[in-house]
Amino acid sequence: MIVNAPTPVGHAKVELTEEDAVHVLHPRSIIAFQGAPMLREDKFMDLAGMYRKKKWIRSRMQGPSQFVLGLPAGCTLEPIDIPSDSDLMFDFRHVLFYSEGMGMKSRIQKFKTAWITHEWVRMRFSGPGTLGILVAGDLTVLQLDESRPLYVEKSSLVAYPEKANIKLSVYGNPLASQHMQIQWELTGRGPVLIQTGSRDSQLEDQLRGDSVIKRILREVLPFGSIYIK
């Protein structure tokens, strides 16, 4: 299987050999397909999948074929090779497809972790196989340390090891901690997957050349966001 996903241009192309098959969890994202018609087979998801993805249908795509996936603006499709002994816990919302033959288990989170993350269930995939992960911006990987904590903004964390220690936290001096989003503090061993799409609206305004006055007027004037460009 070959995944060609230019960063980020709103699409990704997946090429399958005769031995390949993948399950696409968002069939409507398939905007083009080249191959014999019978190589696509749509199926109903199980009840757990329907609940987690809020979707009824998944598509089994078999090779030899190729298809194009349309992606949301600013998002990238990242293929992740999963070994047989992987213990990564994924936010299922980020999974766009997975290769056939992979094991997939729902892992109930410990009460302490679920209280922090507001997630009772995460998905653990076992390989060998490939996951297609949809992320805002790009995907970067950092390694955990048992003594030096890693702080990650809550909305940016895509996957982490099952045995990682997790706390809800902020860091830095009082001024820093008062002006940051809630962070997850992680320690342990193994990789952490993070999406890098910017969440700093002020930075985006500066890149567009917006002045402070324009930003204030947009907020205080009726229909300011429409008339003030």
The pLDDT of residue 170 is: 82
To the nearest 5 percent, what fractions of the chain are helix, strand and coil? 20, 45, 35
Can you say how many angstroms the Cα of residue 144 is from the centroid of all Cα atoms in its chain? 19
Identity of the residue numbered 223: F
The pLDDT of residue 226 is: 45
pTM: 0.75
Query: Taking residues 105-112, what's their average pLDDT?
Result: 67
- Whether residue 164 contacts residue 122, with contact meaning beta carbons closer than 8 Å, is answered with no
Residues 181-210: tens digit of each pLDDT: 778 899 999 999 999 886 655 545 544 555
Q: Which residue, chain included where needed, has tokens 């996936």?
A: 69
User: What is the phi/psi pair of residue 30, to 5°?
Assistant: -80, 110
- Which residues lie below 8 Å from residue 105, measured CB to CB, with a gap of 6+? 123, 124, 126
User: What is the phi/psi pair of residue 183, to 5°?
Assistant: -110, 150
In this structure, what is the dihedral angle of CA atoms 126, 129, 135, 138, given to the nearest 10 degrees?
120
The pLDDT of residue 153 is: 86
The pLDDT of residue 175 is: 83
Between residues 198 and 101, the one the model is more confident about: 101
CA 148, CA 133: separation in Å to the nearest integer? 27
The pLDDT of residue 206 is: 47
